[in-house]
Structure 1
């Protein structure tokens, strides 16, 4: 989802995101987060706010941060309608307001599909970890760096092909660029920030769900398109 998506596109993903988020990312992410009742949660790079709304439905006290104007405006509009108690802040993840002004520190910080979209991503990860209360939980999701182009290459070749993995490079898509980095880059940075890895997931799609999805989605049964990481902060 681009940072200036039209309103109708944002509305189409209002409840639980797109097909892949609904069936692959959200169930694992919510399982890793556990019981959220009464917990302070920062949704870092909240997009149209769908995840913030899901977290609030589970009893979390949510602050959503989003730099994109159309995404931020949509989130605020939905909060005015639903009154879930979510506070939205328009800010760049690399330049957050003071933690006290955000209502932190937070017991949980979530950055879902955010870090791969940021060119200078290390300060963003540091900001997420710095926002944690001692021993808090940091969970982030990525397009799996090993299988980022799974769907189009599977449709073209009936298998997955990758020509380069170890380098950093931009991947241009319909909604802007994402940035490829090896898995080790994210995990080593996480360790360097003093976090302790708790769980890593590479979810696969159930065959019966793939049968209801778009052409080529059967590749997600065989290979993981997403990587979900949970870690405890310092």
Structure 2
């Protein structure tokens, strides 16, 4: 993919554009999509987390780290944007859940104190220009038989809500190429599903499950947001779990 973006420039954009007000609004369980579509699947795929050592890779404001800690996990949150790390550490100072937050690019992880039982990487890989070293670092941070769970915007339905509002159906003009998708803060990067799964396989990951969650129609019926019913028909997220070899 030809792109002027580097990991450093993307991190800089996220760091400069993220406000405490925005982080406050998603500090408990994330935004609407995270609450209703992503979080429940992540928690199901992770299974029982109590007593397990888990890395929240690209933890943002730390909301999912805190959800895991509430369930008894020993959590290390890794986030490259200093504004988000500062916010997460402030929350930890108040809540004292025992979470360790580390400021680092996932592609250049420092020593985090030994292997993890599980690594969760939620809504991160599609936002990283140089994503393969980040996935590798996540997989290599696991103990033998450890679990890697990652969520991305579904590569086949990335602009589901906006196109559904405009046309009453989903439309896309290209899929096989890699390209930037402009965003309000920094871009995401489209890659085919095969790119992620082939890389996971090349790293030795043994696929356990792929989930494509749809929105509960009763939840959609309670909202007045135009186009939200699209999430009941098509998946906007792709969530994958895999094990490392034992």
> TM class by shorter-chain length?
over 0.9
SS at 1:191 equivalent: helix
Q: Cα offset for 1:175?
A: 1.6
User: Could you tell me which of 171, 175, 178 is aligned with 1:161?
Assistant: 171
Find the counterpart in structure 1 of residue 102 from structure 2.
Answer: 89
User: Could you tell me which of 67, 87, 97 is aligned with 2:80?
Assistant: 67
Q: How does 1:1-234 map to 2 (within 5 A)?
A: 2-3=14-15, 4-98=17-111, 102-213=112-223, 214-234=225-245
Unmatched 5+ stretches in structure 1: none
Count of aligned residue pairs for this structure pair: 231
Question: Where does structure 1 differ by over 2 angstroms across 4 or more consecutive aligned residues?
Answer: 1-4
CA distance in 1, matches of 2:221, 2:238: 22
Q: Cα offset for 1:2?
A: 4.1
Of the structure 1 ranges 213-222 and 16-25, higher mean CA displacement relative to structure 2 is found in: 213-222
CA distance in 1, matches of 2:113, 2:198: 29
Q: Cα offset for 1:104?
A: 2.4
SS at 1:166 equivalent: coil
Q: Deviations over 1:182-209 (max 9, x none)?
A: 0000000000001100001000001110
